[in-house]
Structure 1
Amino acid sequence: MSQLTHDSAVLVVGGGTWGCSVALQLARRGYKNITVLDSHPIPSPIAAGNDVNKIMEEGSPSSSDSDEEYVWNRMHQLATNAWKTDSVFRPFYHPTGFIMAASQEATYPDIDASMRACKGKIRPLASPADFQATMPDGVLTGSFPGWKGFLQETGAGWVFARGAVEAAYNEALRLGVRFLADHVKGKVLRLIYSSTDVIGAQTADGREHRADQVILCAGANSDQLFDFERQLRPTAWTLAHIQMTEEERCLWKDLPVLFNVNSGFFIEPDAQNGELKFVDEHPGYCNFVRDPESGEEKSIPFAKHQIPVQSEQKAREFLRETVPQIAERPFSFARICWDADTPDRQFLIDRPPKYKSLVVAVGGSGNGFMMMPAIGIAVADVLEGVIEPKLKHGFRWRPETAVDRDWRDTQHRHGGDETVRDFQKVDEWTHIGEL
């Protein structure tokens, strides 16, 4: 990329987790003319990264890794290094440990495989007493019916998501990045094309933002701005909070993440508001809408700070199995959280072959936040043409993987009724905080 210089105009479309990471990394590499567009102030209330916590697992590549494993472990290595040593990201990583479990026989082999692959110190868990002993008395009071799993004592935990996004945003600002983040000046309506390339983006105020290089990292909404040839399926998950008492907050501090592939997970109460976040596990929701012109069915994201009652019920079932003492409390917060799945659940970070000035950085596939620091590195390397060959191949533009794609493929996720759900078929939503 000989035409790329530190004075080149770089336009980043999307100011969420990946957009802030990309902007920060480019600014650290000396790029002086970076503009980020987003339709909401950062952190956006609809961004997946605007969250109290996300699961974090460490990792490192080895000589025995397959190419696919190498890509995964190399990104883990880059991210882990940043979460542990980078002044921007280090304050937000809590290596509290991670409990992985299953409660249905069909998924026990998955747990066994994860335990064999785990590089950290582990403790097998085979009885309710084993699970209860992983946390202080009075926390895990449930009966854990059919649960089997293990505690990874080292090499995993959680990160304070919103704090990390805000820190990356503020440091990028300090380094000179320009953010236009509101419903008018920052809302991108379309990309701007020349006869042969992408040359910018138009915002809701009518302004055309032209640039030498455009980076599209608008999460689940990216598919509304560019044709990904069925490589992206916007998929949503459901989360909720319960308000904890001050005594409970102290008792529940520094606990390992508790994750069951069949029913859900929770992470310790957040330090700011003392709320416990939990998620009911399922293969995801889509919002299937058929285009009246092409007849093609697509999943179209939308924002909502409520969840389907079906998810509330499943979340309470998970709490009854683990922490029944709080399972019937009212929810203090809930929302749907969008990501975008690629067919193989590997990231898509590449230049589409027809457009030399466009880089797409999409396809978090449920793993995007823990990789936040590494994403900025990967995108900057693609922009500069220096990305590692194995990462380049793993993140390549690959529409051949989406031919005849099954939009309802669970992609090896479990929980609920083991199907991808459709928001168009939701009968009832929660009414948290509504009069």
Structure 2
Amino acid sequence: MSQLTKDSSILIIGGGTWGCSTALNLARAGYKTVTVLERSPIPSPTAAGNDVNKIMEEGAPSDTDTPEQYVWNRMHQITTNAWKNDPVFQPFYHPTGFIMAASQESARPHVDRYIATCPDELRLLNTAEDFRATMPEGILTGDFPKWKGFFRETGAGWVFARGALEAAFKEASRLGVKFITGDEGGVKSLVYSGDGSDVIGAQTLDGREHKADHVILCAGAGSDQLLDFEKQLRPTAWTLAHIQLTEEERKLWKDLPVLFNVNSGFFIEPDSTGQLKFVDEHPGYVNIPPSQTPLPFPQSTPFAKHQIPLQSERAARQFLRDTVPQIADRPFAFARICWDADTPDRQFLISRHPRFKSLVVAVGGSGMGFMMMPAVGIAIKETLEGVLEGRLRDGFRWRPETAINRDWRDTQDRFGGEGKVGNFAEVEQWTRVGEEKAKI
């Protein structure tokens, strides 16, 4: 491994949420030769972060935290500071508040744990009238069957994801980071030293080898295609859709708190086009050939699709009928599947590789990667420099022991849907957004 200096060449594989944040932090720290390889133009149309909005929750560690809680809360503290004060990220944070609930008995302990550990004062919500009162009259008109939860009026909200991703990309570019896209940036494989003892670069689809003193692999769900993670990564996807609101509705729905049911779904206020994004909550989908599903942990292969399974559409519309039935049957204006990668304990994996000393891996967003975008870029930079604080370093370490006997069917403390991980390879019917509508 070459000694790290500000003149060292650094290659980042992946120009999504974590890649752009890492590039920004390295450039700000004065590293002069930083290159990012990404197959698609940035922001990539398939990147999980290329989205209208993501949930954001503020936080900080406490003296009573377990080691696992400390890691999570310390990252909350770092990212909260950035979303509030960093000029690149601050414009995109909307602290509108956060409503969290459950409507299945199995999911209620999840909400109860949040209530028990949240430092902010919460308004408990036990009836349909309680939920309706959290928003202007005429928005929440549903019956909220069996819903119970709370309203966190401060310390939470949402971030404009695409805007933040673009801002980090533009500022990193301004500071001298080189971004290579298209076939010239699409990584086909890693490049190893002659004796195979280290990673020294990457080969792109055009056949070129890009070599560097240090390599950072942060290609999201696609990272699993480039390196053996010893079952530490499971590429998992979720489904989302948009409905178009009228101009009058858009004005009424502005500045709403996030509404999130842990076993049903969530929505966030409409974006500037008046489209309301909503997600049906479920343990996720993998993409595994049926012939391999008897295996405990076959490889799940990501792919892009701007449609969702018909089953997901039905579930999403039921969520809307329970909350905002007046818009529940409108046609979808947009839909897509959104990929991430789960670690066994849903904690990030940000570490020097134990075998390839010039390689830093930064993967495993586990459904929480974008909220932590600013903090993750800092953590990756400090991992490269060897100065990441000890408790974070231990929490993010390379830990294949957590994946022993791992089963791809593990729902990982997620609820909703049919209560199990789905498989895209077994989906028979998809929506036809932009085409003739499929019958619901």
Structure 2: distance between partners of 1:389 and 1:379: 14
The one-character-per-residue Cα deviations of 1:39-89 (angstroms, maximum 9, x if unpaired) are 000000000000000000010011111110000000000000000000000
Structure 2: distance between partners of 1:13 and 1:291: 31
Secondary structure of the structure 1 residue equivalent to 2:184 = coil
CA contact (8 A) 2:12 2:37 kept: yes
Paired residues for 1:78-117 under 5 Å: 78-117=78-117
Kindly state the Cα deviation for residue 210 of structure 1 after the two structures are TM-superposed. 0.2
Structure 2: distance between partners of 1:308 and 1:103: 23
| Runs of 4+ that moved beyond 6 A | none
Paired residues for 1:114-133 under 5 Å: 114-133=114-133
Q: What residue number does 2:244 align with?
A: 243
Q: Which AA in structure 2 matches 1:324? A: P
Q: What residue number does 1:308 align with?
A: 309
Secondary structure of the structure 2 residue equivalent to 1:288 = coil
Kindly state the Cα deviation for residue 111 of structure 1 after the two structures are TM-superposed. 1.5
Kindly state the Cα deviation for residue 219 of structure 1 after the two structures are TM-superposed. 0.1
Structure 2: distance between partners of 1:110 and 1:40: 37
CA contact (8 A) 1:95 1:155 kept: yes
Kindly state the Cα deviation for residue 113 of structure 1 after the two structures are TM-superposed. 1.8
Secondary structure of the structure 2 residue equivalent to 1:375 = helix
Paired residues for 1:18-417 under 5 Å: 18-182=18-182, 184-194=183-193, 195=195, 196-271=197-272, 273-289=273-289, 297-417=298-418
Structure 2: distance between partners of 1:232 and 1:166: 27
CA contact (8 A) 1:289 1:300 kept: no
Secondary structure of the structure 1 residue equivalent to 2:146 = coil
Q: Which AA in structure 1 matches 2:224? A: D
The one-character-per-residue Cα deviations of 1:374-394 (angstroms, maximum 9, x if unpaired) are 001000000000000000000
Structure 2: distance between partners of 1:75 and 1:138: 37
CA contact (8 A) 2:2 2:214 kept: no
Structure 1: distance between partners of 2:289 and 2:80: 39
Structure 1: distance between partners of 2:232 and 2:105: 32
Structure 2: distance between partners of 1:18 and 1:111: 28
Kindly state the Cα deviation for residue 242 of structure 1 after the two structures are TM-superposed. 0.2
Structure 2: distance between partners of 1:103 and 1:383: 44
Structure 2: distance between partners of 1:148 and 1:257: 15
CA contact (8 A) 1:236 1:286 kept: yes
Secondary structure of the structure 2 residue equivalent to 1:298 = coil
Kindly state the Cα deviation for residue 119 of structure 1 after the two structures are TM-superposed. 1.4
Structure 2, unmatched stretches of 5+, are none
Secondary structure of the structure 1 residue equivalent to 2:50 = coil
Q: Which AA in structure 2 matches 1:327? A: A
CA contact (8 A) 1:97 1:151 kept: yes
Structure 1: distance between partners of 2:21 and 2:107: 35
Secondary structure of the structure 2 residue equivalent to 1:169 = helix
CA contact (8 A) 1:101 1:148 kept: yes
Kindly state the Cα deviation for residue 291 of structure 1 after the two structures are TM-superposed. 9.2
Kindly state the Cα deviation for residue 110 of structure 1 after the two structures are TM-superposed. 2.0
Secondary structure of the structure 2 residue equivalent to 1:164 = helix
Q: Which AA in structure 1 matches 2:12? A: V
Kindly state the Cα deviation for residue 106 of structure 1 after the two structures are TM-superposed. 2.2
CA contact (8 A) 1:291 1:298 kept: no
Kindly state the Cα deviation for residue 121 of structure 1 after the two structures are TM-superposed. 2.5
Change in CA separation of 1:225 and 1:290 when aligned onto 2, cut-off 3 Å: farther
Structure 2: distance between partners of 1:137 and 1:54: 25
Secondary structure of the structure 1 residue equivalent to 2:433 = coil
Structure 2: distance between partners of 1:215 and 1:290: 33
Q: What residue number does 2:419 align with?
A: 418
Change in CA separation of 1:2 and 1:11 when aligned onto 2, cut-off 3 Å: closer
Change in CA separation of 1:45 and 1:2 when aligned onto 2, cut-off 3 Å: closer
Structure 2: distance between partners of 1:134 and 1:67: 35
How many pairs are equivalent?
Answer: 431
Q: Which AA in structure 2 matches 1:7? A: D
Structure 2: distance between partners of 1:98 and 1:123: 11
Structure 1: distance between partners of 2:407 and 2:15: 30
CA contact (8 A) 1:101 1:259 kept: yes
Secondary structure of the structure 2 residue equivalent to 1:332 = strand
Structure 2: distance between partners of 1:89 and 1:297: 38
Structure 2: distance between partners of 1:429 and 1:264: 19
Structure 1, unmatched stretches of 5+, are none
Structure 1: distance between partners of 2:118 and 2:82: 21
Q: Which AA in structure 1 matches 2:275? A: E
Kindly state the Cα deviation for residue 141 of structure 1 after the two structures are TM-superposed. 0.3
CA contact (8 A) 2:234 2:342 kept: yes
Q: Which AA in structure 2 matches 1:191? A: L
CA contact (8 A) 2:290 2:425 kept: no
Change in CA separation of 1:163 and 1:109 when aligned onto 2, cut-off 3 Å: same
Structure 1: distance between partners of 2:289 and 2:30: 43
Q: Which AA in structure 1 matches 2:209? A: E
Structure 2: distance between partners of 1:425 and 1:110: 30
Kindly state the Cα deviation for residue 289 of structure 1 after the two structures are TM-superposed. 3.2
Change in CA separation of 1:291 and 1:350 when aligned onto 2, cut-off 3 Å: farther
Secondary structure of the structure 1 residue equivalent to 2:256 = coil
Kindly state the Cα deviation for residue 114 of structure 1 after the two structures are TM-superposed. 1.0
The one-character-per-residue Cα deviations of 1:111-140 (angstroms, maximum 9, x if unpaired) are 222111111231000000000000000000
CA contact (8 A) 1:103 1:145 kept: yes
Q: Please, what TM-score do these two structures have when normalized by structure 2?
A: 0.96
Secondary structure of the structure 2 residue equivalent to 1:15 = coil
Change in CA separation of 1:224 and 1:415 when aligned onto 2, cut-off 3 Å: same
Q: Which AA in structure 2 matches 1:181? A: T
Secondary structure of the structure 2 residue equivalent to 1:170 = helix
Q: What residue number does 2:434 align with?
A: 433
Secondary structure of the structure 1 residue equivalent to 2:313 = helix
Q: Which AA in structure 2 matches 1:429? A: W
